[in-house]
Structure 1
Amino acid sequence: MALDFLAGCLGGVAGVLVGHPFDTVKVRLQVQNVKKPLYRGTFHCFQSIVRQESMFGLYKGIGSPMMGLTFINAIVFGVQGNAMRRLGKDTPLNQFIAGATAGAIQCVICCPMELAKTRMQMQGTGEKKSKRKLYKNSVDCLLRIYNREGVRGINRGMVTTFIRETPAFGFYFLTYDVLTRQLGCELGDSYIIPKLLFAGGMSGIASWLSTYPVDVIKSRLQADGVGGVNRYKGIADCVRQSMQEEGWRVFTRGLTSTLLRAFPVNATTFATVTLFLMYMREDEGPMDCDALQQQAQASSL
């Protein structure tokens, strides 16, 4: 159990290191002012951040997801495993239900973590007033928000996070289960790792596509208030204003960056988990394929 948990954490860390620059670009594109856009698109955003803020600019806010990683993986491991045991049969539907349950419960950690990440990623953008650094790091960010707005403040965006994470994890587990069955993941298969990498990457893409519009609203709500100005009264008002100002395309803002991130993040996570477990258990003989799939599933997204 401890070894599996460690493997999941290492895989998650690798995924964050690979995917965070794409996430920073996604957030910047999602929340930029459409009337005074700073970036023309995904690649222009990448270039602008590196040119103006160096490569470190792409990793703004990485402390928050790194801190929350252990807790999120622990929740996902425990909830998904227990849910599958209670549901009994390993079927695609049960994979969806177990994944959705895990996604819903881990929102308790995920929401404050992503709030700090989003606020840190937005530092140094916008008008001159907001260019000064408000937060030293992710912990300082959450403490300042808590001191100013209380528990409600650090849970800003919880409803949208719940709406996003619940089906996202469900579709991830469902897609991964279907793909690994179709690809014929079997013991002794010399292509088991590429198959798991492909299945994980495609499942990550499928899960993001299923809930992306909600993620746009979540990012806007969590970034609202940076610089001292609040634009939105709530979810419905955010949707209404966004639609009025930018049309339906607003719900695809940053999608290219997100999909570019989804595959390598999940692929890296799977490779790390797989290679670590194989190395640590090489004296125990070949690994059970179902067990390997469970570890890779629980540590992704």
Structure 2
Amino acid sequence: MSPRSEEPTPAASTSLLPAKSWQHFVAGGIGGMCGAIVTSPFDVVKTRLQSNLFREKHSTVSMAGASGAAAYVAPRSRANVLYNFIETGHILRDIYREESPRELFKGLGPTLVGVVPARSINFFTYGNGKQIIANKFNDGQENTWVHLSAAAVAGIATGTATNPLWVVKTRLQLDSSTRTGERLSGSWATIRLIMKENGIRGFYKGLSASYLGVSEGVIQWVLYERLKKLTEGKGGVLEFVGMLGSAGAAKGVASLITYPHEVIRTRLRQPHVNGVVKYSGLVQTLQLVIKEEGARRLYGGLSAHLMRVVPNAAVMYSIYEGILRWNNT
């Protein structure tokens, strides 16, 4: 036997992570960043509608005519799906006029600080996880159970690592001069305030709801993988449009099924009112919202949420897939 045949196996072949595993991290972060910037105004509206702190301010829709006629206040009984989308548009207008255009991007700083690592971790964990799970437990073949398992692991890892960033972002978006008499000056001021009020534990408010929200990521990834196969390999515009549609549709369906956890998470993360902690736990928050406001409030901000997450998912996944394919050519 020649000496050459006795050489050790290259380290790459024994590594747990697949080759070029880093590309999922980079592609996911870039995709998440672009999607967050494009849809930031809808994120602000969604957060305010999920919270009870802004309900009085945004509970009615002023429909003043361009000629300056008296405003018409739409009755709440007309709050159907179409009304909710109209309401979202009017809230965007009100924030732009009454506060400032800059307020439409309130919390974008911590959002980006949160989105880039969150998407990087999620896509890295899922993209590599499904390959590892398939190779170790399913003879190298991917199927729905492989996708489901990888998505669950990715969701838990992402939620745990980035929860403090989302707490800061939520507090910034809910900040109002009408609440405290002075506005928070930025992310660092918010961080100091959270530390003063709750300590380190304050940065993990809503984590239980985030874990509950892992189901959304699982549904989204499994649906996306299934839908993507319908146009995969077709090439050209058809495959690209199919990928965009798959990403948007998967996110839309997952959001509709699991949306109440978003409202609960926002309530858990919102600031104290007159020094009083109103929402203290997952079950307590759920029961209190239903008791005081009705089950309908568990879908507060849904229209703004869908207007944000569907195009966000389309942008994010298309950039992610594009970078992966470009990197593998």
TM-score (norm: length of structure 1): 0.83
1:106 positional shift: 0.9
What residue number does 1:20 align with?
A: 40
Note if 1:36 corresponds to 2:39: no
Match of 2:202, as an amino acid? G
The SS at the match of 1:19 is helix
The size of the alignment, in residue pairs, is 277
Note if 1:68 corresponds to 2:68: no
What is the alpha-carbon distance in structure 2 between the residues aligned to residue 42 and residue 200 of structure 1? 23
Whether the 8 Å CA contact 1:171–1:210 is kept in 2: the answer is no
What residue number does 1:49 align with?
A: 95
What is the alpha-carbon distance in structure 1 between the residues aligned to residue 323 and residue 127 of structure 2? 20
Whether the 8 Å CA contact 2:259–2:299 is kept in 1: the answer is yes
1:209 positional shift: 1.5
| Structure 1 residues 132-178: Cα deviation after superposition (integer angstroms, max 9, x where no partner) | 113x32243223312432221111111111111x1111011111011
What is the alpha-carbon distance in structure 2 between the residues aligned to residue 123 and residue 144 of structure 1? 12
Match of 2:224, as an amino acid? Y
1:85 positional shift: 2.8
What is the alpha-carbon distance in structure 2 between the residues aligned to residue 78 and residue 273 of structure 1? 11
Whether the 8 Å CA contact 2:210–2:265 is kept in 1: the answer is yes
What is the alpha-carbon distance in structure 2 between the residues aligned to residue 197 and residue 21 of structure 1? 21
Note if 1:160 corresponds to 2:209: yes
Note if 1:151 corresponds to 2:171: no
Note if 1:231 corresponds to 2:283: no
What residue number does 1:6 align with?
A: 26
What is the alpha-carbon distance in structure 2 between the residues aligned to residue 184 and residue 74 of structure 1? 26
What residue number does 1:96 align with?
A: 148
* Identical residues among aligned pairs (%): 27
1:107 positional shift: 0.9
Residues 35 and 179 (structure 1 numbering): CA distance in 2 closer, same or farther, change over 3 Å? closer
* Segments ≥4 residues shifted beyond 6 Å: none
Which runs of 5 or more residues in structure 2 are unaligned? 1-19, 61-86, 135-140
Q: Which protein has the larger Cα radius of gyration, Structure 1 or Structure 2?
A: 2
Whether the 8 Å CA contact 1:217–1:239 is kept in 2: the answer is yes
1:242-257 matched pairs, under 5 angstroms: 242-257=289-304
What residue number does 1:117 align with?
A: 169
What residue number does 2:313 align with?
A: 266
Match of 2:130, as an amino acid? M
1:15 positional shift: 0.6
Of the candidates 132, 136, 143, which is equivalent to residue 182 of structure 2?
A: 132
TM-score (norm: length of structure 2): 0.77
| Structure 1 residues 176-203: Cα deviation after superposition (integer angstroms, max 9, x where no partner) | 011012x231063442211111111111
Note if 1:210 corresponds to 2:257: yes
1:65 positional shift: 1.9
Whether the 8 Å CA contact 1:49–1:55 is kept in 2: the answer is yes
1:83 positional shift: 2.7
Residues 4 and 159 (structure 1 numbering): CA distance in 2 closer, same or farther, change over 3 Å? closer
Residues 63 and 209 (structure 1 numbering): CA distance in 2 closer, same or farther, change over 3 Å? same
